């Protein structure tokens, strides 16, 4: 026998699991608050908020926590002022990085990113030295048995998707400009993907 009680083992494992869950909930709550701050607290007219709430539900985040994060984001509840900042840098072999962050303390975030770059043999770069190599795009992925590529292509073209429509083994991806309007005249989700210029 190890000399440890079964209760001690359970308590230690539960403590680790609770800490991990707490970190996940904190990150999701920040995403929800930021989305509510930028697009309002109505998930039906805010695609980014709707996605953040979906992630929260998938992680079994309590409903009260979700509502509190929305209220904090819309300014109806006091809380830390979160700010989005993009950092640029170069990794090993000159690989370019754009890092989007959401933080209540820019100085702490900057120090942490510098530490990660230095540890991995990279370097933080000045603003604009990396961003010129990239274009931000929106990405809409459709999947289903009844999808017709030509219909999706024509619908996307009529809606103003001036970029590309790709058929990839049953899933169709529509690439749009970052600020392209979504259905109903709403702005597309800001969480676009980065694609290097050719």
83-to-99, 138, 163 alpha-carbon distances in Å: 14, 22, 30
Choice among 25-29, 67-71, 72-76 with the minimum mean pLDDT: 72-76
How many domains, in total, are found in the chain? Answer: 3
Kindly state the percentage of the chain with pLDDT values over 90.
3
Q: What is the rounded average pLDDT of the residues 114-137? A: 86
Pair of tokens at residue 88: 């640029």
Q: Is residue 104 part of a domain?
A: yes
Chain segment 14-64, per-residue pLDDT in tens: 777 777 888 888 888 888 888 888 888 888 888 888 999 999 999 888 898
Same domain, yes or no: 18 and 69: yes
Tell whether 149 and 168 lie within a shared domain: yes
Q: What is the pLDDT of residue 193?
A: 36
Q: Which domain holds residue 36?
A: 6-73
Q: Both 110 and 153 in a single domain?
A: no
- Please tell me which residue, 73 or 82, carries the higher pLDDT value: 73
| Three-class SS state of 197 | coil
The CATH number of the domain holding residue 47 is 1.10.10.200
Does residue 1 form part of some domain? no
Q: What is the pLDDT of residue 54?
A: 92
Give the residue from 94, 112, 128 where a domain finishes. Answer: 128
Q: Are residues 65 and 119 in the same domain?
A: no
Residue 96 structure tokens: 């370019």
């Amino acid at each position: 026998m190890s000399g440890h009680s079964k209760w001690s083992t359970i308590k230690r494992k539960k403590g680790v699991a609770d800490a991990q869950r707490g970190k996940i909930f904190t990150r999701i709550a920040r995403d929800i608050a930021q989305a509510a701050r930028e697009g309002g607290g109505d998930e039906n007219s805010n695609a980014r908020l709707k996605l953040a709430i979906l992630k929260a539900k998938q992680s079994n985040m309590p409903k009260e926590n979700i509502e509190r994060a929305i209220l904090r984001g819309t300014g109806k509840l006091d809380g830390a002022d979160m700010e989005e900042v993009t950092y640029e840098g170069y990794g090993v072999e000159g690989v370019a990085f754009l890092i989007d962050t959401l933080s209540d303390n820019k100085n702490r975030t900057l120090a942490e990113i510098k530490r990660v770059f230095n540890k991995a043999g990279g370097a933080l770069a000045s603003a604009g030295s990396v961003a010129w190599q990239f274009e931000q795009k929106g990405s809409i992925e459709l999947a289903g048995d009844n999808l017709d590529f030509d219909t999706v292509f024509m619908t996307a073209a009529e809606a103003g998707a001036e970029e590309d429509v790709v058929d990839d083994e049953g899933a169709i991806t529509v690439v749009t400009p970052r600020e392209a309007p979504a259905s109903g005249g709403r702005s597309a989700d800001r969480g676009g993907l980065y694609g290097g210029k050719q």
